[in-house]
Amino acid sequence: MRPSLSLKTSMVALTAIILAACNDSDFQLPEPVVAPPPPPPATLTFQVKVSDLTNGQPLSPAAIIAHTSDYSVFTIGAAASAGLEVLAEGGDNADLIAEADGNAAVFSTASGTAPIGPGAEETITIEILETELPDALLSVSTMLVNTNDAITGVNRISLADMAVGDTITRRGVAYDAGTEANTELASEIPGPAGGGEGFNAARDDRIDAVSMHSGVVTSHDGLATSALNGQHRFDNPVIAVSIERIN
């Protein structure tokens, strides 16, 4: 049995309506569901307390550097970087921090605000990302300013296993940056004992390499030209560094 003409006509009309609806500009497919981006990694805060353990050696403003194992402030037996030389001779940490900030292995840096006097301390805050924690090491560097080029601090302290509230304390010894001869002349010591020029780009030490410091020679030891006296001598350790994870 063939469909009637009226039925054919109705089907054609219905088809036209459906096609018109499909072509209607108001007809849209549902928008795809886009997953929200993951939240940024949390920022972790550490407080670094730097304490001067000497009797008469103020410390320059400390440089605090968080980094991976591919970075080191210095290596015993190797020449100091230009930034470390400026710190070691004049107490200015800006060049050392700039060097660190330009190194891909460094996470973050911070600076102390002022020199730290004998027996005094300063607490400095530094932050890293939570994703950086497994590889994070911390180094602290400063100058004994009543010297030609003595530095101290702690190097490559691992933060990886620190939980919130944990504290790590380390003590540091004195190193000779190997960039300036230990003349103990007032004109070459930037601290209050001398008031001299501090940094000088010429490297005139016997060996251009970082080594353990043998101590200063003072006027009380018979060196008449020395700007230093007995109170400027130091024994190791000369610094204490306490690191606390805050969050």
Number of domains observed in the structure of the chain: 1
pLDDT, residue 11, reads 56
pLDDT, residue 47, reads 98
Query: Is residue 3 one of the residues assigned to a domain?
Result: no
- Structural domain boundaries, residue 189: 43-242
Residues 199, 86: contact at Cβ < 8 Å? Answer: yes
Query: Is residue 27 one of the residues assigned to a domain?
Result: no
Query: Is residue 109 one of the residues assigned to a domain?
Result: yes
Query: Is residue 14 one of the residues assigned to a domain?
Result: no
Within 8 A by CB and 6+ apart from 77, the residues are 209, 210, 211
pLDDT, residue 134, reads 98
**Burial environment of residue 103 by CB neighbours within 10 A (0 to 12, 13 to 18, 19 or more):** middle
Query: Is residue 142 one of the residues assigned to a domain?
Result: yes
Amino acid at 15: T
Model-level pTM?
Answer: 0.85
Three-state secondary structure string covering 108-163 = EEEECCCCECCCCEEEEEEEEEHHHHHHCEEEEEEEECCCCCEEEEEEEEECCCCC
Query: Is residue 214 one of the residues assigned to a domain?
Result: yes
Question: Which residues sit opposite 46 in a β-bridge?
Answer: 126, 245
Q: What is the CATH number of the domain that holds 137?
A: 2.60.40.2130
Within 8 A by CB and 6+ apart from 76, the residues are 175, 209, 210, 211, 212
Query: Is residue 196 one of the residues assigned to a domain?
Result: yes
Per-residue pLDDT of the chain (247 residues; tens, 9 = 90+): 454 556 555 555 545 555 555 555 556 788 888 988 988 999 999 999 999 999 999 999 999 999 999 999 999 999 999 999 999 999 999 999 999 999 999 999 999 999 999 999 999 999 999 999 999 999 999 999 999 999 999 999 999 999 999 999 999 999 999 999 999 999 999 999 999 999 999 999 989 999 999 999 999 999 999 999 999 999 999 999 999 999 9
Query: Is residue 68 one of the residues assigned to a domain?
Result: yes
